[in-house]
Structure 1
Amino acid sequence: MPCRRVLVLTGPPAVGKTTTARAVAATRERCAVIDVDDVRQLVVSGGAAPWDGDEGLRQQRLGVRNACALAGNVVGAGIDVVIADVLTPETSALYRELLPGCLVVHLTVPLEEARRRAATRTVWLTDEEFVALHVADASADHAAGLAPDHVLDVRDLDPDQQAAAVEAVWDSP
């Protein structure tokens, strides 16, 4: 069976990207999940967060390039791929360039719901960073061709429903 196009799940922190990616992957015969936060964490000494100036931006782009290379290798082996990452207009362009035809699905919830969800797990961000990422996500000006293919408001969905909604989008032509 041929691989589906690569699915890129995006959205601000605590929207459920990784949880949804894993749930969707579990329903496939063969599917890998690439959490780009994990890819970025490969830089142990001198690692910089995406908002940490020029070095952070450089490492953010490196994380996207590495995730795309990994996705290409996995798809080349006949395995579907779901990527979880917080996209910016710049990184969205990189995904579109390096993974032509990828499907970008943006998950969204209000900040209050994201805070509720974040309270159930370990959060590696300061409250200021958490809020700033949500504000940046809400105000992102996506140039033509860089906007997500689909936006799903998942505020009222439990993890299984969220995964089912994403699967329905991935399954549509």
Structure 2
Amino acid sequence: MRAPLLLTGPPAAGKSTTARALAASLPLAAVVDVDDVRHLVVAGHAAPWDGDRGRLQQDVGVDNACDLARRFVAAGIAVVLADVVTARTAVRYRERLPGLLVVRLRLPLDEARRRARLRPVHLTEQELDDLHLADAKGAFPVDHVLDVGGLDPVQQVDAVRSLWSGEPPVG
């Protein structure tokens, strides 16, 4: 059984798209998009950067995502998680999902802005910039860093698949 995989990186790096395509290519796999888990809080929802309430909801989102991932793995279902991880949440993920493989998708800011313009608006430009800057600092250990700026979606999925399977990346 594959270890759970967590894709992280700045907004618009392709975490959710890559997670869904990768899971769809396997015989039995699930995707846990942690933003979706956090948005289960409808009344009083707070973004992770919105003070204590935002940090609390961020932590609850990580905990719930890890609970889901553990249940999928226990049932023999491969699982890919997608989240913008911080140094604080990285510790929570590692504690709650032993054996977790963490892959950071790295993307230049100008490319992140370009990609963000092609999808529904979820963040302000300032929030995107701030999250990108925070991610670039990389204040927590990951297992692999994958530069995705020059990759199309298929190449990105193939590169992550290679890292997850332990094979050398193609190309």
TM-score (ref. length: structure 1): 0.95
Counterpart pick for 1:156 among 134, 150, 154: 150
Equivalent position SS for 1:29: coil
Q: How far did 1:26 drift? A: 1.2
Distance 1:7 1:55 in 2: 27
Query: CA–CA distance in 2 between the matches of 1:140 and 1:167?
Result: 22
AA in 2 matched with 1:136: A
Cα shift at 1:116:
1.1
Task: Supply the distance in 2 between the matched residues of 1:87 and 1:75 (Cα, whole angstroms).
Answer: 21
Is residue 8 from structure 1 mapped to residue 6 from structure 2 by the alignment?
yes
Contact 2:9 2:85 in 1 (8 A): yes
The one-letter amino acid of 2:161's match is: E
1:61-76 matches, within 5 Å, as: 61-76=59-74
How far is 1:140 from its partner?
Answer: 3.2
Deviation at 1:127, TM superposition (A): 0.8
Match of 1:105, SS state, is strand
Distance 2:158 2:138 in 1: 26
User: Contact 2:86–2:139 (CA<8 Å) still a contact in 1?
Assistant: no
C-alpha RMSD of the superposition:
0.9
Match for 1:4: what amino acid?
Answer: R
Counterparts of residues 90-109 of structure 1 (less than 5 Å): 90-109=88-107
1:68-90 deviation line (CA, Å, top 9, x unaligned)? 00111111111000000000011
In structure 1, the residue matched to 2:126 is 128
Partner of 2:135: 137
How much identity, in percent, do the aligned residues show? 59
Query: What residue identity is the alignment partner of 2:73?
Result: V
Measure the CA separation in 1 of the matches of 2:77 and 2:136. 33
